[in-house]
Amino acid sequence: MTHSRRPATPWYRHQFRGTSWRTLGQTNADSSCLNRRRARPNSRHHMEITARVVRTLVETAALALLVGCASTSVTLQPSPQTPVCDRSAAVLVVWAPNWRPDQKDVAAREQAANTGLADFLAQSDCFARTELRRVPELTPPAVRAQLVEKPGDFTKVLAIEVRELGPVVKLLSSAALVEGGTEVVFEVTEFSVRSVTEQRRFTVHWQNGGPGVVKGVASLPGDMQAALRAGLQPGASVR
């Protein structure tokens, strides 16, 4: 007996039996769309991370460029003023603080102010001879009392009221960028020796800093000294 063989079923019919070509195409298309949908959130997350990294790098580069870019400004009010320094004068210098009500670290600031004043008078050639005294107040009666209680051969009396001495920090457009420095504000009053009458009065506002600059309290005595040098010996740059 002759047996006729049926042709072998192709492999693809076993694999997709019961599935039409149209259905198969739709299934493959749906699978491809699903994969794309799953990939989209990952791509978006990757883009967000990349943007964040780029923004951080840009801010870091900008900060690196700005660090150390400090500048100094000095303002005298009223202005202009003739120099206070007189190399032939023997001067009694009295000083007192006048801090704002919410001032912090008062004792440390007063110590820094006193050190800056003493260093300036000792190291500069502003006057021929000086004596520095910390007094409770700077009124004419208080100044007169200093001349009576501790007389000296003075030709000039100078009163300095320290109002501000400390570091300042401001945030720029980003928290990664700061602008800081040091601010010194004091008022200068000249008195005559004989009558202890006020001859002139003006305020000195000294600032040093800039973008990317952060200063602490260690520089305050030096900053006070620099402010005194600029305020008592004003040059052409003072406005």
| Predicted pLDDT of residue 14 | 47
From the list 87, 89, 82, 91, the residue with the least C-alpha distance to 233 is: 82
33 pLDDT higher than 50: no
User: Of 31, 49, 66, which marks where a domain is finished?
Assistant: 66
Residue pair 180/206 in contact (Cβ under 8 Å)? The answer is no
- Are both 62 and 86 inside the same structural domain? no
- pTM of the complete model: 0.68
Both 104 and 197 in one domain: the answer is yes
Output the pLDDT for position 61.
Answer: 46
Same domain, yes or no, for 39 and 126? no
- Number of domains within the chain: 2
> Are 105 and 187 contained in the same domain?
yes
User: Last residue of some domain: 38, 66, 94?
Assistant: 66
Q: 51 and 122 share a domain?
A: no
Q: Say if residue 104 is in the same domain as residue 210.
A: yes
Q: What is the CATH number of the domain that holds 220?
A: 3.40.50
Do 95 and 210 have their domain in common? yes
Buried b / exposed e over 132-151, threshold 16 CB at 10 Å, is beeeeebeeeebeebbeeee
Sheet holding 71-77, edge to edge: 71-77, 198-211, 178-191, 156-171, 86-97, 127-134
On the question of pLDDT at 151 being above 90, the answer is no
15/94 same-domain check: no
The tens digit of pLDDT for each residue in 9-28 reads 554 444 444 444 344 444 44
Report the Cα 129 to chain-centroid distance in Å: 37
- Could you read off the pLDDT of 189-211 as tens digits, one per residue? 999 998 999 999 999 999 998 77
The answer on 54 and 77 residing in a single domain is: no
pLDDT digits (tens, 9 = 90+) for 158-173: 999 999 999 877 666 6
Quote the domain boundaries for residue 94: 69-232
Given 66, 82, 107, the domain boundary residue is 66
Which residues, 6+ apart, have CB-to-CB distance to 87 below 8 Å? Answer: 125, 126, 127, 128
**Please, which residues have CB within 8 angstroms of residue 103's CB and are 6 or more apart in sequence?**
109
pLDDT at position 233 is 85
Chain segment 84-141, per-residue pLDDT in tens: 999 999 999 999 999 999 988 999 999 999 999 999 999 999 999 999 999 999 999 9
